[in-house]
Amino acid sequence: MSSTPDRPLLAVLRGERRDPPPVWLMRQAGRYLPEYRALRAEKGGFLELVYDSDAAAEITLQPIRRFGFDAAILFSDILIIPHGMGQGLTFGPGEGPRLTPPLDDGDWRRLTPTVDRFAPIYETVRKVAAALPPSTTLIGFAGAPWTVATYMVAGQGSKDQAETRRLAYRDPAAFGALIDRLCEVTIDYLSGQIDAGAMAVQLFDSWAGTLSPDQFDQWVIAPTKRIAAALMARHPGVPIIGFPKGAGAKLAAYAAETGVDAVGLDETVDPAWADAVLPKGMPVQGNLDPLALIAGGDALRAAVARIRAALDTRPHVFNLGHGILPDAPIAHVEQLLAMLREGSR
Amino acid sequence: MSSTPDRPLLAVLRGERRDPPPVWLMRQAGRYLPEYRALRAEKGGFLELVYDSDAAAEITLQPIRRFGFDAAILFSDILIIPHGMGQGLTFGPGEGPRLTPPLDDGDWRRLTPTVDRFAPIYETVRKVAAALPPSTTLIGFAGAPWTVATYMVAGQGSKDQAETRRLAYRDPAAFGALIDRLCEVTIDYLSGQIDAGAMAVQLFDSWAGTLSPDQFDQWVIAPTKRIAAALMARHPGVPIIGFPKGAGAKLAAYAAETGVDAVGLDETVDPAWADAVLPKGMPVQGNLDPLALIAGGDALRAAVARIRAALDTRPHVFNLGHGILPDAPIAHVEQLLAMLREGSR
Quick: pLDDT tens for B27-55.
999 999 999 999 999 988 999 999 999 99
Quick: pLDDT tens for A264-283.
999 999 999 999 999 999 99
pLDDT number for residue B172: 96
CB-based contact B321:B289 (threshold 8 Å): yes
Q: Report the C-alpha gap between B282 and B267 in whole angstroms.
A: 18
Q: Which helix (H) or strand (E) holds A72?
A: strand A71-73
With 80 as the cut, is the pLDDT of residue A4 above it?
Answer: no
The answer, for A243 touching chain B at a CB cutoff of 8 Å, is no
Class for domain B8-342, per CATH?
Answer: alpha beta
With 80 as the cut, is the pLDDT of residue A94 above it?
Answer: no
By CA distance, what is B289's nearest residue in A? A212
Instruction: Pick the closest to residue B74 from B16, B18, B156, B143 (CA basis).
Output: B143
Contacts of A174 in chain B (CB under 8 A): none
B249 contacts A248? CB cut-off 8 A: yes
Angle among Cα A171, A173, A177 to the nearest 5 degrees reads 120
The answer, for B328 touching chain A at a CB cutoff of 8 Å, is no
Q: How far apart are the first and last CA of chain B?
A: 25
Q: Report the C-alpha gap between A148 and A142 in whole angstroms.
A: 9
Known catalytic residues of A are 27, 31, 40, 77, 151
The answer, for A250 touching chain B at a CB cutoff of 8 Å, is yes
A214 contacts B302? CB cut-off 8 A: yes
Q: Report the C-alpha gap between B338 and B18 in whole angstroms.
A: 16
Q: Which of A171, A245, A291 to mutate to test the interface with B (most CBs of B within 10 A)?
A: A291
CB-based contact B69:B28 (threshold 8 Å): yes
Beta pairing, strands A262-264 & A284-288: parallel
By CA distance, what is A276's nearest residue in B? B249
Q: Look up B6 and say whether it is catalytic.
A: no
Residue A11 burial (CB count, 10 A): 17
By CA distance, what is A251's nearest residue in B? B249
Given B162, B212, B270, which is nearest A249 (Cβ)? B270
By CA distance, what is B292's nearest residue in A? A169
Given A212, A269, A291, which is nearest B249 (Cβ)? A269
How much of chain A, in percent, has pLDDT values that exceed 70?
98
Residue A119 burial (CB count, 10 A): 14
pLDDT number for residue B88: 97
The answer, for B324 touching chain A at a CB cutoff of 8 Å, is no
Q: Look up B27 and say whether it is catalytic.
A: yes
Q: How confident is the model at residue B94 (pLDDT cuts 50, 70, 90)?
A: confident
C-alpha distances (whole Å) from A324 to each of A92, A190, A283, B146, B322 are 21, 24, 22, 24, 30
Q: Report the C-alpha gap between A63 and A58 in whole angstroms.
A: 10
Q: Is the peptide bond before B239 cis (omega within 30 degrees of 0)?
A: no
Quick: pLDDT tens for A234-273.
999 999 999 999 999 999 999 999 999 999 999 999 999 9
Give the minimum alpha-carbon distance from B302 to chain A in angstroms, rounded to a whole number. Answer: 9
The larger pLDDT score, comparing residue A5 to residue A58, is at A58
Q: Report the C-alpha gap between A87 and A80 in whole angstroms.
A: 10
Q: How confident is the model at residue B92 (pLDDT cuts 50, 70, 90)?
A: confident
Given A212, A267, A303, which is nearest B292 (Cβ)? A212
The answer, for A214 touching chain B at a CB cutoff of 8 Å, is yes
The number of angstroms, rounded, from the C-alpha of B290 to the middle of its chain's C-alpha atoms is 15
- The residue ranges of DSSP E strands in A148-292, in sequence order, are 200-205, 240-244, 262-264, 284-288
Beta pairing, strands A284-288 & B240-244: unpaired
Given B248, B292, B303, which is nearest A268 (Cβ)? B248
CB-based contact A103:A87 (threshold 8 Å): yes
pLDDT number for residue A332: 98
Domain boundaries, chain A: 19-255
Contacts of B291 in chain A (CB under 8 A): 162, 165-166, 169, 212
Mean of pLDDT values over B166-180:
97
| ipTM for the whole complex | 0.94
pLDDT number for residue A343: 60
Q: Report the C-alpha gap between B30 and B334 in whole angstroms.
A: 16
How much of chain A, in percent, has pLDDT values that exceed 90?
94
* Residue A23: strand, helix, or coil: strand
A248 contacts B246? CB cut-off 8 A: yes
A211 contacts B165? CB cut-off 8 A: no
* Residue B290: strand, helix, or coil: helix
Fold type of domain A19-255:
TIM Barrel (3.20.20)
With 70 as the cut, is the pLDDT of residue A345 above it?
Answer: no
CB-based contact B307:B286 (threshold 8 Å): yes
Q: Is A181 exposed, middle or buried (0-12, 13-18, 19+ CB in 10 A)?
A: middle
Instruction: Pick the closest to residue A199 from A73, A339, A35 (CA basis).
Output: A73
Q: Which of B219, B291, B294 to mutate to test the interface with A (most CBs of A within 10 A)?
A: B291
Instruction: Pick the closest to residue B125 from B47, B200, B177 (CA basis).
Output: B200
B165 contacts A291? CB cut-off 8 A: yes
Beta pairing, strands A88-91 & A97-100: antiparallel
B165 contacts A268? CB cut-off 8 A: no
B210 contacts A268? CB cut-off 8 A: yes
pLDDT number for residue B344: 52
The answer, for A256 touching chain B at a CB cutoff of 8 Å, is no
The answer, for B276 touching chain A at a CB cutoff of 8 Å, is no
Given B212, B216, B303, which is nearest A214 (Cβ)? B303
Q: How confident is the model at residue A95 (pLDDT cuts 50, 70, 90)?
A: confident
Q: Look up B122 and say whether it is catalytic.
A: no
pLDDT number for residue B44: 83
Give the minimum alpha-carbon distance from A206 to chain B in angstroms, rounded to a whole number. Answer: 14
The answer, for B30 touching chain A at a CB cutoff of 8 Å, is no
Q: Which helix (H) or strand (E) holds A189?
A: helix A172-196
How much of chain B, in percent, has pLDDT values that exceed 70?
98
